[in-house]
Structure 1
Amino acid sequence: MTNEQILAACRSNWEYRGVGEAAVREMLDELSAHLEDAEAAGRTGEDVVGPDVRTFAAAWARERAPFARRALRTAAMACFMVGCLLLFSFLLRWTVRLTVTADHLAFWAAIGAATVAWELRRGGIRLHQGWLLSFVVGLPVALLVRWLVGKGELFTLPLWAVPVVLLPSLPYVVSDARARRNAKADARRPRCGTVEIPGMTLLSFGTPRGVRASQEGEPAVLPSGAVMTVRSEVRAPVPAASAA
């Protein structure tokens, strides 16, 4: 696996195991630094995470947060996904009462199970891969269930069921949105430090784990890609105080 695939798989595992967005970003930054250090030393990503990335991600998730808190968050985010799916179904059929049948339930359950299995192993799933899962996994399961059970109605759901299902996830959704907003603000904030040496100014740019410096006349490359040239600063000596 490449470093990008390892990071994507770890992110999916941590999200499904109930680790919050802010903690996930911190863990990804730390893991990315370890992977870059290993690559610079001539080692692979498997030397850092081991042969099974899911085992590695699960062990780190257990150290990051207790099981009860992670399980509560996972259940709440599952309610969020179900609520969004219900809202999409209501809008698609443009109705205030949704009829749920066995084949429709099996269709979405199969897609959900296949998506979780894929993301736990390979990371996030792309749009075309989602459509492929729908036709390869969801559609055959739905047709099989319709052939075995029929197209009978299981139950109906009113429109007000959507906000009821979404309600438990709202605190976590707001918290994750705030964490993403703070992360974007931190990414836009410049990070630099200045160290003055007699006859020369040394400017350092970068992150705490990767600092790039430049001496006089040499271009310094900022994380954003901009280039800055450092010029020396020579200050006149301070005259000594005359004796009384």
Structure 2
Amino acid sequence: MRQVTALLAGLALLTLAGCGSMNPYPQHVYSKPPSERAQSGTLDPKTRPYTVLGRTYYPLQTPRGYDEVGLASWYGRDFHGKKTANGQIYNMYGVSAAHKTLPLGSRVRVTNLENERSVVLVINDRGPFVNQRILDLSYGAAKKLGTVDRGVAKVRVTALDMDPGPAPERISVAAVKRYQVRVGAFAVRDNAERVHRRLVGAGYPGASIAMVSRDGQVLHIVVAGSFADRDQAERVLEALKREFPTSYIIS
């Protein structure tokens, strides 16, 4: 009888052990089951659960320790100028990526295992929602990694830390006033880059391009430089008026 009792007890322990090992929320996909997350009251937008195509994803609470190998794709013009999951405007020419479960704002190193190129970027969007793919790169990031032509490449994604965001500027009120010579606003990025190259070639190394969104349209603003002195800005404006007659000063 004791042997039978012991056998039954052993079977019960094996059954419990087996049930304990069947975790429906693997660490690389979910951080907590829905019931536990509801009790914890976690509402941080960086790790908020979301549902896509009928499937709910539960982002990790921290990027610490994340290291995974898989396939990376890239996305570009169809999403250019639209909002990402963290509210930023997606810039296909920038360096960023989308991931299903890393906290938004995670800083990661992505290495192309086919050519050993690597880039450090920030996760600012969600995706890709395609089987076997773990990362969706911006066009700019894919270009640095050499994956644009192939479309999909095998990569390693290693979490570094959380992006602290831009540091607050400690400047005096007197230093705030700046004058910029605005040369033009372009809906097409290529046109803005063409004008930017002409300005740099003409001796304006401080020329830059800024992206703004107005009434749902993305514009690329080209300025010839930023100046602390109004007279200097006036001289630059006068020099550019012949080639760019619609230029003007903003402050």
TM-score (norm 2): 0.22
**Whose radius of gyration is greater, 1 or 2?**
1
**Larger RCO of the pair (alpha carbons < 8 Å, separation 6+):** 1
TM-score (norm 1): 0.22
